[in-house]
Amino acid sequence: MTILLYDLVGSDPSRPFSPHCWKARMALAHKGLAFDALPTRFTEVAGVEGGGGRTVPVIRDGDAVVQDSFAIAEYLDDTYPERPPLFEGQSGRALARFVESWTQRTLHPVIVRATILDIHAAQDDENKAFFRAKREKAFGKPLEEVQDGRTEEKRLAASKSLEPLRATLRNQPFLAGERPMFADYIVFSGFQWLRVLSTFQLLDDGDPIADWFERCLDLHGGLGRQVPAAS
């Protein structure tokens, strides 16, 4: 039975953008598992699989329903151990947890400050209103004031904050070493979020991070490239 993935989209259902959903997409592809993506807008998320305040991604695999990208990756490794692993044992899971924490506290805020109006613009009218109300309540200010990261000074500062990632990728092709694993997909999905939604260029040409991102776009038959970059 094909796995069902509830995947966040805006007004164009062919352009999934959520970094968390991209983690699940890449994990499923890494395991070689067929899946159908069900486009899901912000206002539809709470009702996914019976509701209960769900967030996406969510997968349904037969009778199993799993929410949260990291939990999905763990489920896939536990349920399909004969397929390529997403983690190298328990220590690999623990290290990937660190990568996820770093990504959400370092990379994601950079992207939000540079692109939150692009995220808003990608929604239909109903979801624009929903997104604006939720995010402005969370940030305590208008979206126009949240997006303050596009000056050259702030771009350079944001890029500098990624130096630990850059230094690692100067010495190896993937974060996990010679081949990608879930830790790579965690970070890749943040940059894919930026690529799909915005023309803002965070990285310079020739940056080791940019080169690694291009390699990740080519993985699994070019899954990442199936959604064109914003133009």
Helix (H) or strand (E) holding 193: helix 182-197
- One digit per residue, the tens of pLDDT, for the chain of length 231 reads 799 999 999 999 999 999 999 999 999 999 999 999 999 999 999 999 988 778 999 999 999 999 999 999 999 999 999 999 999 999 999 999 999 999 999 999 999 999 999 999 999 999 999 999 999 999 999 999 999 989 999 999 999 999 999 999 999 999 999 999 999 999 999 999 999 999 999 999 999 999 999 999 999 999 999 999 999
Nearest by Cα to 131 from 146, 142, 116, 120: 120
Q: CB 120: neighbour CB atoms within 10 A? A: 20
List the beta strands (DSSP E) in 41-117: 58-61, 64-67
What does DSSP say about strands 35-40 and 58-61: parallel, antiparallel, or unpaired? unpaired
